Chain A
Amino acid sequence: MSISEKTSLAQEPALVVDDVVKRFGRGTEIVTAVDHVSFTVRQGEFVSVIGPSGCGKSTLFNIIGGLLSDYEGAVKIGEERISAPHPAVGMVFQEESTFPWRTVIDNVAFPLELQGVAKSERMDRAHHFIDMVGLASFEKAFPSQLSGGMKQRVSIARILVSQPKILLMDEPFAALDEQTRLLLGDKITQIQQELNQTTLLITHNLTEAVQLSDRIVVMTYRPGQVKRIVDINLPRPRTSDVVGSDAFGHYVAEIWNDLREEASRGMADSESAASRRATHG
């Protein structure tokens, strides 16, 4: 592929989120979880959506993944408006989602099994991606024998093996400690660069977002709107070493400025809800 071809491909949005609105409930109990959100993800780009807890990130994730079909606006892949799961999208969920009754390799080979890929080939391909996430020596283990971080890596390998055009991840590292998170982040960056994988990452972790992303969509707390979209001009290939750089610190400080307001609104909200609950017994 020539450089000009690559840049022209890179201009073309792989995913368009256009004025999406999602409300839950009815009458006076209506919660607007996602409020007129728009952004695009280009081919091969790594975009993060960051926002405080409860701002509608998972809701957005489910809409883009086609699991919530009842929404306003449009999520588009090519010309198609998403209202059901799209074969080009692979999802990694916030909650632990490995199959406890399958070994690591059978978990990872699962999507290939569904496609009817022959056993030896699917084992080879599963093996490749298990290697990529660094679990080669655990292929025959069951999820119950793995740590939380290892299980998330299994879920990631399981999606990568089906080679989705767009990888969608909802706080895949939320349950992990900071060190594991940084190292897994390295893995993700490496994989993303190796496969030129178009990725949308949902997160509430600032360093993670800056470490991994080309762009960051900052959300407001309730209703979940786009507050700002920040370009991250850190050099690629990137590793977690970038965390120590001045530029990194600069981005983190800048985005934290935006987020602080939202996060404290979120806190105040939940505190008042708690005291309301307390006074109502």
Chain B
Amino acid sequence: MAEAFLRRHTPELFGLATLLVCVLGFEALIRGGVVNRYIIPPPSDILLAFERVIVEENILARCRDTAFEMLVAGGASVLVGVPIGVLLYRSALWRRAMEDWIGALAAAPIVLAFPLFLVLFGRSPKTIIVMGFVHGLAPIILKTVEGLASTRPVLINVGRSLKMTQSQMFWKILLPSAMPIIFTGIRLSWTFVLITIVGIEYLINLGGVGQLINELAERYDLPGTYAGICFVILVSVLFFLALERVESWLQPGR
């Protein structure tokens, strides 16, 4: 049984082993004085800092705040991005008019526009959420258009030959066929959203894990700072695991 478990989880175990080797490598380099411990603290110190940031800094509550902002911003970019994508797919003119702009939006470093958003929404979680949302929108729109447009013509012909209505065609053929590409868009988008949210928390010193990382850094608590970063990764992993669940629920058989 142990053998079967090993064989089934080989990739995961291999991944963990690689991570472990890297961590041990850093530990050795830092302890050996090759890497300055005031730039990167030894992993063992970071591990020890975990207790401190959990108990004293209450980082779990901050993760909850960040996760909440992430949920609202990420959810909103899906709820708004997919319909916009559908509209662009439907109207060739709109699509030609807008696609480049949206591509530019996707590439723009929106984080730098934070003063503008501060003026508009104040120093509140609203600013953080809106900025995350804006940054997360473009990839979802673009991938939705791409997904719908790449529906195999023969499937559309099946629909036509069955005399499907426009709305049946959309819900039962176009959307399911576009789903894998839309999910690629969501994954991209949520990466942007999380970066923006934590970045803005850090920059405007407000709310969740980003702010805590800022504080710890200002206190020169390097192990604590790195432990905080580990928690950002944790939040990200949770979201992507949830997304994977939703995807395999919506997309059986692929």
A binds B: yes
Q: List residues of chain A with CB under 8 Å of any chain B CB.
A: 65-67, 85, 87, 89-91, 93, 95-97, 99-103, 110-111, 113-114, 142-145, 162
Alpha-carbon distance A113/B164, docked complex (angstroms)? 11
Knowing A99-B155, A101-B176, A101-B177, the reply to whether A142 touches B163 (Cβ < 8 A) is no
From B18-26, B236-244, B246-254, give the one contacting chain A. B246-254
CB <8 Å contact, B160 and A97: no
Alpha-carbon distance A100/B152, docked complex (angstroms)? 11
Knowing A85-B160, A114-B162, the reply to whether A101 touches B252 (Cβ < 8 A) is yes
Alpha-carbon distance A111/B168, docked complex (angstroms)? 11
Alpha-carbon distance A114/B167, docked complex (angstroms)? 11
When distances are taken between beta carbons in the complex, the residues of chain B under 8 Å from A67 are 157, 160-161
* Subset of 20 A-B contacts with CB under 8 Å: A67-B157, A67-B160, A85-B160, A91-B161, A93-B154, A95-B152, A97-B152, A97-B155, A97-B158, A99-B173, A99-B177, A101-B251, A102-B253, A103-B252, A103-B253, A111-B162, A113-B172, A142-B253, A143-B253, A144-B253
| Chain B interface mostly | helix
Alpha-carbon distance A90/B216, docked complex (angstroms)? 68
Residue in A85, A103, A145 whose CB lies within 8 Å of B161: A85
Question: Is B179 an interface residue when CB atoms closer than 8 A count as contact?
Answer: yes
CB <8 Å contact, A114 and B157: no
Identity of the chain A residue whose Cβ is nearest the Cβ of B155 in the assembled complex: A97
Question: How many A-B contacts if CB must be within 8 Å?
Answer: 59
Knowing A85-B163, A114-B164, A162-B162, the reply to whether A101 touches B254 (Cβ < 8 A) is yes
Alpha-carbon distance A95/B163, docked complex (angstroms)? 19
When distances are taken between beta carbons in the complex, the residues of chain A under 8 Å from B158 are 91, 93, 97
CB <8 Å contact, B161 and A144: no
0/1 per residue, B164-183, Cβ < 8 Å to A?
10001000110011010000
When distances are taken between beta carbons in the complex, the residues of chain B under 8 Å from A66 are 160-161
CB <8 Å contact, A144 and B163: no
Alpha-carbon distance A201/B173, docked complex (angstroms)? 26
